[in-house]
Amino acid sequence: MANLSLRQVSKRFGHVEVLRDLSLEIPAGEFAVFLGPSGCGKSTLLRIVAGLEAPTSGEVHLGAERIDTMSPGDRGVAMVFQHYALYPHMTVRQNMAFGLQNIGTPPEEITRKISEAAAMLEIAHLLDRKPGQLSGGQRQRVAIGRAIVKQPKAFLFDEPLSNLDAALRSRTRIELARLHQRMQTTMIFVTHDQVEAMTMATRIVVMNQGRIEQVGTPMEVYQQPDTRFVAGFVGTPAMNFLPVARVEERAGRAVACLPDGTEIATTVPVGHLPSGDLTLGIRAEHIVPGDGAEARVVVIERLGERTLIYADLRDGSTVVYDEPGDVRLDIGQPVRLAFDGAAVHLFGPDGMTLRG
Amino acid sequence: MESWHRGRSLGDRLLLLAVMLLAIAWIAPIVWVVGLSFKPNEVLMRSTGGIIFPPFTLKNYTDILAASSVFGWMANSAIVAVGQTVLTLVIASLAGYGFARTDFPGRRVLFVLLLAALAVPEQAVIVPLHTMFAQAGLHNTYIALIAPRLAFPFGVLLMTQYFRAIPAEIEEAALLDRASRLKVFWRIVLPLSIPAQATLGIYTFLHAWNDYFWPLVSATKPEMYTLTVGLASMQTNFAQTEGIGFLMAQAVFAGLPVLILYLFFQRHIVSAVAGGGAR
Amino acid sequence: MADPKGAPSRGSTGAAIGEKHAANLLFVLPYLLVLLVLLLIPLGLGIWLSFQDYDMLGGWNGGVGLDNFRNLLDDSIFPGAVRNTVVFVLITTPAFVGLGLFLALALNDSLRRSAVLRTVFFGSSVLSVTIVTLIWRLVYLPDRGLAADILGLVGLHGFDPVTSETWALPAIAVVTVWWIIGLPMTLFLAALQQIPAELYEAAALDHASRLTTLRNITLPSIRRTIAVVAVIEIVLQFQLFGQALLITGGGPNNHSRPIVQFIYEAGFRDLQLGFAAAASQVLFALMLLAALGQMWLSRRGEN
């Protein structure tokens, strides 16, 4: 169990810069999720930590050791690959034993460690089967088991849930969260799925185009996004973004005026507001029917426990808001929507959240 | 595939007929020759008609078993073919892995060289090769018969392609499992490449077994003749020969091993030859 | 095992894994040695030889520049051999492509009988050249051979291709096509199976007839394979040797003598190594030219 330290890590493939001067500290024992869209560099970063890629510049430290100059096997990390990468011609037992055999672990100890891991993951009955005879979920547990027996300082997961169907995915999320609680080892998890990030992480690292946008707990990232990108990437449904036509002042706070005339009183201090176009962001749960903007319902999505309603404002912008349970609304029906000014975010033209 | 498109139209029936006729034309020579091998030589001196009528005899085959050098030739061919196959598999697997998965100075250049070497036909090197072996006094040895084909790039290219197709993740997992490069090759990659080994092995074996030009000029002493050379040496005074039945029996005998191999390993052989031709 | 940092490695794209290491050369070293000694050096030696007067009997008599090549041009046999070989390639290549394609189209399904037929047509190619020639010399026997028997049934007698100046080469061509039709057939079969079934389904929904489908969907889809097969056959048939040597001996009157037989006789019978080496270079050059020519032709056809 060790903390991970990335210092000014950059990675270039030919002319393409995939990671730009990344620095990050992950304390020991955290379940850190690298979250971002495809191509943001999260997988590359993981592979650099694992030693499967070398950084173009920068350093990686695990605990007290500098690891970016070490071979993958010597770093004390274990990795669970997206497609599991189990050795197809070996049994589950041999798959799990391989790593330990390579460092000369005595056979009794190998057997003991495999039994422990197999018991933890409930795969003891599969030990003599080959990967080809296992289901996707079982293979994944074997891949995790292979990592556990090595007792690494850090676990690395490369989008391991993407190949599972939805039901299995939620079950496995819970198992991984439990695993982390039990083992208390540092875990680094890469995904593009923000639900996975929100549910499993103790710390989320949001990445975009080779840079870190924000590091924080799930709730921090959700409630206090640092940038418009983070605000729009995290949360389902995505945050509503509306252009701000002009800003007025009331009691030292900014009042955002939307193109259709609606005025929303925010809690953002009006001093130091940049010139240029501002964007207003508000989540679905902070829009409620009430005295406010005029809108017309265009799409209704009934999810069971709540309903998402998409409505067009007078100026044509579409917003989504939600109501618990079912609603009695029809397409085309006019509604009036109130915006909770205290929960509103304002973003400057550079995408940064304005906090005054 | 067009099978579902196929109906019972007239066109289809004619097509089938044409193909069947061709197939008959294809088998005819072999069937005919096999039939001849069961007829006494004296009868054949006069005429080869009446194949399906008696007399029949097994004498041609017993003659082979008694005195023919066919066995010696077969033994030579077997030694050469097995030797070449084993060595090719070892060398090509190592080199294929090197090109596919490791990086070293000059990798790109050497690979291009490999591709260029594909274009070199046997005849461009056979004369100088012969001279080189003559200077080294190595003719009429198994070494001389086995060695030259080891240089053909086909095997290396086949293995390179196959190793590239193995998901890199599996090898990365092995590296993270603290396996050395060599151990990754030996315990992980090599076992996974058995299909390619089978294809390359069968291809090499077949070509070694059927090789003619080089054994012709290198194995000049009768005791070193391979099957192809030995059989060709019997074909001299053909029209006047008295032993047509005997000759045919020898041809059948020589062809039997390969045909049996073919029937058992047809899938492998077809894919190997197709892969070889496609280069 | 600390690897030096700095040299970039490529990862999950399927290319190299890990650092660039001179030690990794060990994997390819055995093959490279073999390649050098048994292919590259002989190749160079052959080129050098072609400019020498090197006789196994008389020894090395020094460089003679282009004399060997000039002598090839003036030789009584060589130009004919070149002509024979070129004619042979021109006869057989269309036959291989055409017949191979025909068989592949006819047998491209999962019926049992098609599998049996494919086995038949491919089977002949596993036999060695000596067995094949043994069979066909007998088939071609003037009064006792299978060919004579069959032709006799339709009233044609006295057919002896081996001693006929016009028919010797075509007779060898027939043998060759019989021998190796399996290769082009298999290559075409593989290409046909790459055509996605959806194309045919769409055509069916468009009421396309068999012939239209063939012309507008099947053939265009395998155009590249047709070109590849043509090049392969050209390269292979330029190397004609065993069939000619053993069936007709190159005769009658050198009318079926191919270049490789010339090389064989010059180099290993007459022991004129320089001369033979020069002939080898000419063959190599012709093969390259023909292959490139075919590729250029195919590319033009595509545009």
Full set of structural domains in chain C with CATH: 10-49 (no CATH), 68-302 (1.10.3720.10)
Q: Which of B160-164, B269-273, C30-34 has the lowest mean pLDDT?
A: B269-273
pLDDT at C60 over 90: no
- Tell me the angle at which helices A107-121 and A136-148 cross, rounded to the nearest 10 degrees: 140
Task: Assess if residue B182 is contained within a domain.
Answer: yes
How much of chain A, in percent, has pLDDT values that exceed 90?
Answer: 60
Tally of domains within chain B = 1
Identify the residue with better confidence: B38 or A10.
Answer: A10
Residue position matching structure tokens 């055409």: C98
> Is B159 part of any domain?
yes
As a whole number, the mean pLDDT across chain C is 84
Whether the Cβ atoms of residue A144 and residue A79 lie closer than 8 Å to each other: no
Between positions 30 and 59 of A, the ones with CB within 8 A of C are 47, 52-56
pLDDT at B279 > cutoff 60: no
Q: B47: nearest CA in chain C?
A: C144
Give dist(CA A253, CA A269) in Å, integer. Answer: 4
B92, part of any domain: yes
Identify which of B167, B176, B192 has the shortest CB distance to residue A73.
B176
Q: Can you tell me the distance from the alpha carbon of A338 to that of A265, in angstroms, rounded to the nearest whole number?
A: 11
Classify residue B143 by burial, with Cβ atoms within 10 Å: 0-12, 13-18, 19+: exposed
User: Mean pLDDT, to the nearest integer, of C6-27?
Assistant: 57
In a domain, B251, yes or no: no
Contact A13 C8 (CB under 8 A): yes
Q: Is B225 part of a structural domain of the chain?
A: yes
Q: According to the model, what pLDDT value does residue C14 have?
A: 40
The answer to whether position B183 is within a domain reads: yes
pLDDT of residue C3: 33
The conformational region for residue C220 under phi > 0 = left, psi -120 to 50 = alpha, else beta, is: alpha
User: Domain containing B187 — which CATH number?
Assistant: 1.10.3720.10
Kindly identify which residue of chain A lies nearest to residue B193, measuring between CA atoms: A89
Minimal Cβ distance to B191: which of A78, A89, A99? A89
pLDDT given at position A210:
92
Average pLDDT score over chain B? 85
Higher pLDDT, C105 or C157: C105
Question: What pLDDT was estimated at residue B2?
Answer: 46
Query: Does B174 sit within 8 Å of A77, measured CB to CB?
Result: no
Q: What is the mean pLDDT of residues C270-298?
A: 90
Domain residues for the domain of B99 are: 68-234
Note the pTM of the prediction, 2 decimals.
0.81
pLDDT category, C6, cuts 50, 70, 90? Answer: very low
pLDDT, average across residues B202-218: 92
What residues contact residue C207 under an 8 Å CB cut-off, 6+ apart?
none
In the block, which residue shows the tokens 């600390």? C2
Distance CA C260, CA B102 (A): 40
Per-residue pLDDT averaged across A303-331, rounded? 91
Distance CA C130, CA B216 (A): 11
Instruction: Evaluate whether residue B42 is within a structural domain.
Output: no
The mean per-residue pLDDT over the stretch A327-356 comes to: 88
Binary contact (A47, C2; C-beta < 8 A): no
Rounded distance between C-alpha atoms, residue B245 and residue B56, angstroms: 11
Q: Chains contacting A with at least 3 CB pairs below 8 Å?
A: B, C
For chain B, what is the radius of gyration of the CA atoms? Answer: 24
Which amino acid, residue B77? S
Question: Which residues does chain C have within 8 Å of residue A55's beta carbon, measured at their own beta carbons?
Answer: 5
- Asked if residue B100 belongs to a domain, the reply is yes
Distance separating alpha carbons of residues C181 and C147, to the nearest angstrom: 20
List chain B residues with CB under 8 Å of C273.
Answer: 127, 131
ipTM attached to this prediction: 0.85
pLDDT at B3 over 80: no
Report residue B48's pLDDT band, with 50, 70 and 90 as the boundaries: low
Distance CA B277, CA C7 (A): 38
pLDDT digits (tens, 9 = 90+) for C147-160: 877 887 787 777 78
Q: In chain B, which among 135-154 make CB contacts under 8 A with chain C?
A: 147-148, 150-153
